[in-house]
Amino acid sequence: MIVARSLAEASSLNQTFMASVRVSVQAARNAIKQDAFASKIRVGMKTENLNIVMVRTTHPGNIGAAARAMHNMCVSNLVLVNPQCPVGEIAYARASGAGVILEQRRNVASLKQAIRDCSLIIATSARSRSLPWPELSPGQMAQKIRRLSEQSKVALVFGPEHSGLSNEELQFCHFSVSIPTNPEFSSLNVASAVQVLCYEIYRLAESAPVSQTRESSESVATSDDLEAYITHLEQVLIKTRFLDTDKPGLLMQRLRRLYQRIDLSKSEVNILRGILSSVEKYKT
C-alpha cells in the first residue's frame, strides 16, 4: 500500500516537475524573445519593420550564419522563401546563440508572398543586369531603410548561393544594392553579405535621428498596392493599343522601375488607378 502510494506520489511529483520544467523553458524562451525585442529598442530605428528575406537558400549553414549576423546587428525578422535545405542542427549550430532568430523565422513559398505588405524592397546582388536597376550604395540603402521603416515594412532580399536572384524576382524590387568588392571577385558568401549590410544599417541607426520628410498620416503604398496598379495599367495599355502584346519589349519593366523609384503613397496609387478607370470609361 505504502509503495503504491509513493509510486502514485512519485508519478504526480514527476508530472509536477515536468510541468515546471516546461514553464521554465517557456519563460526562458520568452525572456530571449523579450531580449531580442529590447535590443531593437536600443538602436534608434524600428528594426521590427525590417525583414531579411533569403530566397531559395541551399545551405543550412548559411541560414544559421545569417541569423547570427542579424542578431549581432539587432535585426530579428528572418523570412525564408522556399528554402532548399532543412533548417535543423547545422543551421542552429552556425547560428550559435542566435537560435531565437531561426525559431521566430517565417517560411513562405514565393518572394511575392514574402514582401506583400512591404513598401520598400531592396535586392542585393553581386552583379549588374542587362536592364540596370536603380542602384543604391550600402550607405544610401541604410538611409532609405531607416526612413521608410519608421512607418512601413521594408525588405532586404538575398539570392541563392549559386545563381543570385532571378530577373523575375528582381522585378518586385525597387532598388538593388551591391557591396563594393574586388571587381574580379565580387561574389560574397550570402551570410557575409547579410552581415555587411545589416552592419551598415546598424551603424546608421546608432547615429543621428531620422529626419521625416513624408507627413506621418500619409501611408506608403505596399508591394500589393503597386502590383495591383501595374496589372491595371498593363490592361489599359493593351486596350488602348499602346502596348503591343506581340512585341511587348521592355515597356512594362521600364514602367515598373519608374513607379518603384518614386516612393508612392497609397493615396497617390489610388489617384493613378482612378485615372486608369476614367480612361477605361472614356468614349468619344
Grid coordinates belonging to 169? 524576382
Helix and strand element counts for the chain (H, E) = 11, 7
Nearer to ligand SAH, 126 or 251 (CB): 126
Rounded distance, CA 121 to CA 172, Å? 7
Q: Is 249 left (phi over 0), alpha (psi -120 to 50) or beta?
A: left
Query: Should residue 57 be labelled a site residue for ligand SAH when binding is judged by CB under 6 A?
Result: no
Query: Should residue 140 be labelled a site residue for ligand SAH when binding is judged by CB under 6 A?
Result: no
204 neighbors 162 (Cβ within 8 angstroms): no
Query: Should residue 119 be labelled a site residue for ligand SAH when binding is judged by CB under 6 A?
Result: no
CB of 81 to ligand SAH, least distance (A): 12
CB of 127 to ligand SAH, least distance (A): 4
Query: Should residue 149 be labelled a site residue for ligand SAH when binding is judged by CB under 6 A?
Result: no
Query: Should residue 188 be labelled a site residue for ligand SAH when binding is judged by CB under 6 A?
Result: yes
Query: Should residue 85 be labelled a site residue for ligand SAH when binding is judged by CB under 6 A?
Result: no
**Other CB atoms within 10 Å distance of the CB of residue 40:** 18
Query: Should residue 233 be labelled a site residue for ligand SAH when binding is judged by CB under 6 A?
Result: no
Query: Should residue 126 be labelled a site residue for ligand SAH when binding is judged by CB under 6 A?
Result: yes
Which of 47, 76, 124, 222: binder of ligand SAH (CB under 6 A)? 124
CB of 73 to ligand SAH, least distance (A): 15
Q: Quickly list DSSP for 172-194.
A: T-SEEE-----TTS----HHHHH
Query: Should residue 77 be labelled a site residue for ligand SAH when binding is judged by CB under 6 A?
Result: no
- Among candidate residues 172, 166, 269, the one with its CA nearest the CA of residue 225: 269
222 neighbors 118 (Cβ within 8 angstroms): yes
52 neighbors 195 (Cβ within 8 angstroms): no
- Among candidate residues 251, 182, 174, 253, the one with its CA nearest the CA of residue 220: 174
Residue closest to ligand SAH (Cβ): 164
Nearer to ligand SAH, 6 or 167 (CB): 167
Which of 45, 179, 243, 264: binder of ligand SAH (CB under 6 A)? 179
Catalog residues that contact ligand SAH under the rule CB under 6 A: 124-127, 158-159, 161, 163-165, 178-179, 181, 186-188, 190, 193
